[in-house]
Amino acid sequence: TYCSPPFSAASKALAPVSSVLQVRQDRNQSLRWLPDKPGCWMYGPGLCFVSTLSVKLLFVSCRAEEIPLKILAHNGLVGRLIGKEGRNLKKIEHETGTKITISSLQDLSIYNPERTITVKGTVEACASAEVEIMKKLREAFENDMLAVNQQANLIPGLNLSALGIFSTGLSVLPPPAGPRGAPPAPPYHPFATHSGYFSSLYPPHQFGPFPHHHSYPEQEIVNLFIPTQAVGAIIGKKGAHIKQLARFAGASIKIAPAEGPDVSERMVIITGPPEAQFKAQGRIFGKLKEENFFNPKEEVKLEAHIRVPSSTAGRVIGKGGKTVNELQNLTSAEVIVPRDQTPDENEEVIVRIIGHFFASQTAQRKIREIVQQVKQQEQKYPQGVASQRSK
């Protein structure tokens, strides 16, 4: 059998004679180096000798130079592998005696969501580091699956995979080892469900392929508050990420100036139709999770502000707070409609919504729905409404 592992002619001189002799003695086989080629011929029956000697020679070769181990991992998992302030990665490096680097975020695109994890060290050290790295990736994967299952129970039928909102297609992570011969597990598509819920939030006629000029959805403005330290991750190098996000969502996305030197949150101003709002906000929630700005087992909860006409604020609250309470029970979001708020120059007041992405989106859509119903009633019965107000 001819063996051509990745070692040079220098390996012949570096190979301890005792290692080769031990293999020959154990297996009763023979070995002949090739004079002009980086390999050798191994003589003898069976594959055990080939396997044993190949491993021996590989280890001998790697003593001369370090061979990097490269692992591809979805960006959605990498933040939790790194850990807060790089603690997880530093711990793995310290315990295994390896050097670990991860490719830049700038190499990512919508079509390439994976990052390259490079591990440098001896073969034994790289193998140990690979075990620890995969353990962290597996933990992040399982936490994602748990969160998906919980949210699917809360809001069934939501197809975020089709919209490309969160990290999907994490099939680069192999399934746990099972019985020999068992069929492989299907790829991981966490949000690949039916789109019934999304359709209920956004009526199909609004987003038909050939809408008339009067059927375009209304532009909405949402102010989303993110941690101050996350602003750089949202903007990206030279604004690359925020520009890519705006193009993907079809929305205008701007970061408002800080109101002071020590503020803990910054306001992201998102302008666009409902579908663009859904995509942009979803990507921002997902980015904060990916970049480890929240605990791996903690849901990302952000505060969003939307403006509604002051005349409809009472309808959002409902008699004795009935409507807003029902809204909170339905969505699991905290909805705050100040009763004594002074309207702005457009006669609008701010409604505060606090919750995870699904909860926030549901609350926003339900509130917009109430506002739209009031507008339609006012357009349909303008005189009746006026007369009722005058009484």
Average pLDDT over residues 223-229: 95
Statement to judge: residues 265 and 283 lie in one domain: yes
217 CB-near residues (< 8 Å, 6+ apart): 202, 206, 207, 273, 274, 275
pTM for this entry: 0.53
CATH code, domain carrying 105: 3.30.1370.10
Q: Which of 109, 137, 165 is the last residue of a domain?
A: 137
Range of the domain at 12: 2-64
**How many whole angstroms separate alpha carbon 50 and alpha carbon 173?**
30
Chain segment 238-250, per-residue pLDDT in tens? 899 999 999 988 9
Average pLDDT over residues 112-141: 90
CATH code, domain carrying 314: 3.30.310.210
Statement to judge: residues 328 and 370 lie in one domain: yes
Indicate whether 205 pLDDT > 80: no
Statement to judge: residues 224 and 370 lie in one domain: yes
- Between residues 302 and 341, which one has the greater pLDDT? 302
Helix (H) or strand (E) holding 373: helix 357-380
- What one-character DSSP code corresponds to residue 153? H
Statement to judge: residues 131 and 43 lie in one domain: no
Most confident stretch, 51-55, 105-109, 126-130: 126-130
Statement to judge: residues 367 and 221 lie in one domain: yes
Statement to judge: residues 227 and 324 lie in one domain: yes
Indicate whether 8 pLDDT > 60: no
Indicate whether 39 pLDDT > 60: no
Statement to judge: residues 114 and 18 lie in one domain: no
Most confident stretch, 130-139, 151-160, 173-182, 215-224: 130-139
Q: Which of 10, 36, 64 is the last residue of a domain?
A: 64
Statement to judge: residues 125 and 10 lie in one domain: no
- In three-state secondary structure terms, 292 is coil
pLDDT at 378: 81
Statement to judge: residues 111 and 13 lie in one domain: no
Count up the domains in the chain and report the number.
3
Statement to judge: residues 36 and 85 lie in one domain: no
